């Protein structure tokens, strides 16, 4: 009986550690994006990983993801003072795969305060790798009342 209890505790602890690692990974995204650290921000994904922000473009692979952080639009934001914030997410674990659903906010310094530029819902697909948890895909949809936004919102329970 004691061995079963220890095995159950080990399994619970492993799940907690996995969830914590995923939360830490996603919490790292915003500061790296706002620092303009293209290399480390792109490294949060698996090599072939995808970032799909609202269908505006689809960044597949490391080079495409790095371009997000080095392009003129992003550079203008971070030089004014931007805040990419990933809110707490609901994590669903399935062995070496996971998903996380939650909000993100983009705010911009306007001199005396910050203005909210974008509020989105995100669905992150993740995989455990030899280097820890990494993002396979991030789908980000502006909260615009669209069917796609509602589908992502509802995916929090799946």
What integer pLDDT is reported at residue 156 of this predicted model? 83
Ramachandran assignment for 145, one of left (phi > 0), alpha (psi -120 to 50 degrees), beta (any other): left
Work out the average pLDDT over 111-134: 96
Q: Which of 8-12, 48-52, 57-61, 79-83 has the lowest mean pLDDT?
A: 57-61
For residues 65 and 87, is the Cβ–Cβ distance under 8 A? Answer: no
In tens, the pLDDT along 71-122 reads: 999 999 999 999 999 999 999 999 999 999 999 999 999 999 999 999 999 9
In the predicted structure, residue 55 carries a pLDDT above the cut 80 = no
pTM given for the model: 0.92
Query: In the chain, pLDDT over 90 holds for what percent of residues?
Result: 88
What integer pLDDT is reported at residue 91 of this predicted model? 97
Work out the average pLDDT over 17-42: 96
User: How many whole angstroms separate alpha carbon 64 and alpha carbon 32?
Assistant: 16
In the predicted structure, residue 61 carries a pLDDT above the cut 70 = yes
pLDDT band at 158 (very low <50, low <70, confident <90, very high): low
Task: Specify the CATH number of the domain 2-157.
Answer: 3.10.450.50
User: How many whole angstroms separate alpha carbon 2 and alpha carbon 83?
Assistant: 49
What integer pLDDT is reported at residue 143 of this predicted model? 95
Rg (CA), the chain: 17
For residues 41 and 62, is the Cβ–Cβ distance under 8 A? Answer: no
In the predicted structure, residue 1 carries a pLDDT above the cut 80 = no
């Amino acid at each position: 009986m004691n061995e079963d209890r220890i095995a159950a505790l080990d399994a619970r602890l492993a799940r907690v550690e996995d969830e914590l690692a995923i939360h830490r990974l996603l919490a790292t995204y915003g500061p790296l994006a706002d620092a303009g650290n293209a290399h480390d921000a792109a490294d949060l994904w698996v090599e072939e990983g995808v970032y799909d922000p609202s269908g505006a473009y689809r960044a597949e692979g490391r080079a495409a993801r790095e371009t997000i952080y080095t392009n003129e639009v992003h550079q203008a934001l971070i030089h004014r003072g931007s805040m990419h914030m990933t809110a707490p997410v609901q994590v669903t674990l399935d062995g070496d795969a996971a998903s996380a659903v939650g909000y993100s906010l983009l705010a911009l310094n306007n001199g005396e305060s910050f203005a909210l530029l974008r509020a989105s819902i995100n669905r992150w697909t993740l995989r455990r790798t030899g280097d820890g948890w990494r993002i396979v895909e991030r789908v980000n949809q502006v909260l615009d009342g669209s069917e796609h936004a509602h589908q992502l919102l509802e995916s929090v329970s799946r």
